[in-house]
Chain A
């Protein structure tokens, strides 16, 4: 079980209150009507599956019902940081 810090409630809660909502930072094409099928398909279906640092979107479903981002290590399961929507992660994978 994770013990997750909700940046909106400003405290740690059990994982059962949260839901993972997939990869974070997915910009929707600004003009879907004029983008190519490949661009749209990539946006809609293609996700990263990294070994190591990953940025994810989570929602505090049973609590404040707000979304926030999390940087998590998929290898060690360690939560590196949580940050609000619109903020940039301070920990990123070395490329």
Chain B
């Protein structure tokens, strides 16, 4: 028995197995809205309207849970992403293609280019000290961008949060109910909002958005 114990102690600590879910762009990935064929709609559909919809598909979504009071963990996140974790509630930070959203006092959502998921996750496993959880949830959700002067009107019909710029400034992020589903909503500009929706509700929300934006005119951007 004692021999076994000694042998185990010398082995390097076991890291979580990380799988490269999307090893190359040559392999076709299908977004949750693949069946809607937004690319064709962008070419054939109307070019002017009050609401513009664009899907940012196949991005890297990582859910990080760690202790916001742990300086070593916060430093590790900054080393990996070049971005500091947003600690105040309902805020987000963005730098280039990388962004972090505050979801709860110990939970953040990281978005990055899809092909970088494996690299970022591997770096986290090397850098992060202590007790934490990092889950690659890229396949579980997709990102929609709503813009145009009537985008806010569509959202007012869908969510119960106050969207006025005085209480919902650029960069603010909320998880809330969206129609009969849920979404993570973030303001990117005066008339630009980002929605992160669940894969299983993607079709419902796509139908909902078409219905809700009908009177303003919906334009699909590619």
Contact = CB atoms under 8 A, between A and B. Distances in A.
Contact of A62 (B89, B105, B175): B175
A31 interface: no
A29 B97 CA distance: 50
A16 B160 contact: yes
B103 to A, nearest CB: 7
Interface in A63-86: 63-66
A14 B89 contact: no
Contacts of B122: none
B175 A64 contact: yes
B104 A14 contact: no
Q: How many B residues touch the partner, as a band?
A: 10 to 19
Interface string B163-192: 000000000001111000010000000000
A39 interface: no
A38 interface: no
Interface in B74-96: 89-90
Contacts of B105: 8, 64, 66
A63 B160 contact: no
Nearest to A12: B162
A33 interface: no
B160 A10 contact: no
Contacts of A10: 89-90
A91 interface: no
Contact of B103 (A16, A17, A64): A64
A17 B175 CA distance: 9
A93 interface: no
B22 interface: no
Interface string B89-115: 110000000000001110100000000
B176 A13 contact: yes
A11 interface: yes
Given A64-B104, A65-B104, A17 B176 contact: yes
A9 interface: yes
B42 interface: no
A8 B104 CA distance: 7
Given A8-B89, A9-B89, A62-B182, A17 B177 contact: yes
B161 interface: yes
Given A8-B104, A13-B161, A14-B160, A62 B176 contact: yes
20 contacts: A8-B89, A8-B104, A8-B105, A9-B90, A10-B89, A13-B160, A13-B161, A13-B176, A14-B160, A14-B161, A16-B177, A17-B160, A17-B176, A62-B176, A63-B104, A63-B175, A64-B89, A64-B104, A65-B175, A66-B105
Interface of B: 89-90, 103-105, 107, 160-161, 174-177, 182
